[in-house]
Each structure stands twice: as structure tokens, then as C-alpha cells.
Amino acid sequence: NAGVTQTPKFQVLKTGQSMTLQCAQDMNHEYMSWYRQDPGMGLRLIHYSVGAGITDQGEVPNGYNVSRSTTEDFPLRLELAAPSQTSVYFCASSSLSGRAYNEQFFGPGTRLTVL
Amino acid sequence: AQKVTQAQTEISVVEKEDVTLDCVYETRDTTYYLFWYKQPPSGELVFLIRRNSFDEQNEISGRYSWNFQKSTSSFNFTITASQVVDSAVYFCALSDQRNAGNMLTFGGGTRLMVKP
């Protein structure tokens, strides 16, 4: 199993450009999410999904769009990139097993710089 | 609302010193989960430990130990005889019972620098 994969690993954008951060998992997990990591603020939840066709907002959703057309993929779209979106982005997945606890699996991260 | 506070933003120690990273949390839930993650300079997140709110036993794993105290809403992490390889950013995180670990609230992180 590859686990959670993210592409690209690094990206530099100019203000106003758009791009999609890719996230894929091969563990058949229902739950997927995106976090951004900023210095001193830890990781904050952007969007999450509990299954194909279902997405919802997290703590900091503004400026980001997501879609979930398959169980495996959960791309994060920046339509008009802004310098405030310079951050490290982590994708995570986990099962919705109904058990008391479900382990989160994190991707390796994407470092995005918006100039 | 949940909140995790790591008051120490940066700690610097000399190798072989013991160091404790503090974590204080807030939640209204009676059942919840607490976590520690390590982020080495390479950038990935490494899971260290999960603790259930109903299990207040302290845990030791090699040079690592964790002190969970519900009375003070704290979940502190101690590294004994620190090593240069322990240099990293450490995150404390919280998940409530409803989310069952699927959604995590992170603290701001503590950067630990271990000097030789």
C-alpha cells in the first residue's frame, strides 16, 4: 500500500493563479481531510469529506474548494491564489468504521508558496 | 469548542538533558482522545502516542514518557536523555468522541532543538 500520497511536493504560484493539490489514498478510507500548517498555529482543518460526493467545511475553508468524486481522491483547489495561502498542506485519511477510534494517516505534505 | 495550547513555542536543550513539552487542552466532552505527533526537519508527521480520556495511566516508551492529568487538563510529554535526533516540532492534538479520531484539533507546536 502506498498509503496517502500528495502531489506536488513543492509549488510556487503567483498571486491570482489557480492550481489543484492532489491527494490520493489506497486504503479504501471513507474519511479524507485537508489541513494547512502555519508557524505557531499548528495544523488547521480546511475541508473534509465523509465519502464520495460529500464534503464539508472545516475551520479555515475560505479560498479553497474541494470535491470528492471517488473514494480514493480528494483534490484541493485554489482558484485565486493569495500570499496568505502560503503554507504547508497535509492531506489525511481514516476509516469511518463505527469503532470508538479511527487512526489518521497523513500524507507527506505539499509546500506551497504564493508570491 | 475544543482548544489545545502548547505554551512553549521553542525549547533549546543540550544533549542528554531531560525535557518536558507541555500541552493543555479544553473540551466539553467527557470522552476524547489526545495525541502527540513529531515533525522532523524532513516535514512528515510521525504519530507518537494516543491516549483515551478514560485511561489516566502514564505511559513510558523507551526515552519517551507521557503524563496525562485530567484534573489539570494536561497531557505532557517528557524526553529523557535527549538526543540530537529528537530535534523536531512536536504537536499535541485532541479529538472528541463524536469524531472518533477522524477530526483533530492541533496545538501550535513546540520546536525542540537539541544541541550536541
Question: What average pLDDT score do residues B71-87 get?
Answer: 96
Asked if A48 has any chain B CB less than 8 Å from its own CB, the reply is: yes
Residue with more model confidence, A102 or A108 = A108
Residue of B nearest to A94 (CA): B102
pLDDT surpasses 90 at A63: yes
Residue of A nearest to B50 (CA): A103
What proportion of chain A, given as a percentage, has pLDDT over 70? 97
Whole-angstrom Cα distance, residue B108 to residue B91?
A: 7
Per residue in B6-45, is it b (16+ CB within 10 Å) or e — as a string?
bebeebebeeeeebebbbbbebeeeebbbbbbbbeeeeeb
Q: With beta carbons under 8 A apart, name residues in chain A contacting B33.
A: 101
Distance from CA of B79 to the nearest CA of A (A): 21
pLDDT surpasses 80 at A78: yes
Interstrand relation of A10-13 and A110-114 (parallel, antiparallel or unpaired): parallel
Of A48, A90, A100, which has the smallest distance from its Cβ to B103's Cβ?
A: A48
Residue A103 to residue B101, Cβ atoms within 8 A: yes
Question: What average pLDDT score do residues A6-31 get?
Answer: 96
Task: Report the DSSP beta bridge partners of residue A19.
Answer: A78
pLDDT at residue A104, rounded to an integer? 87
pLDDT at residue A98, rounded to an integer? 66
Residue A42 to residue B109, Cβ atoms within 8 A: yes
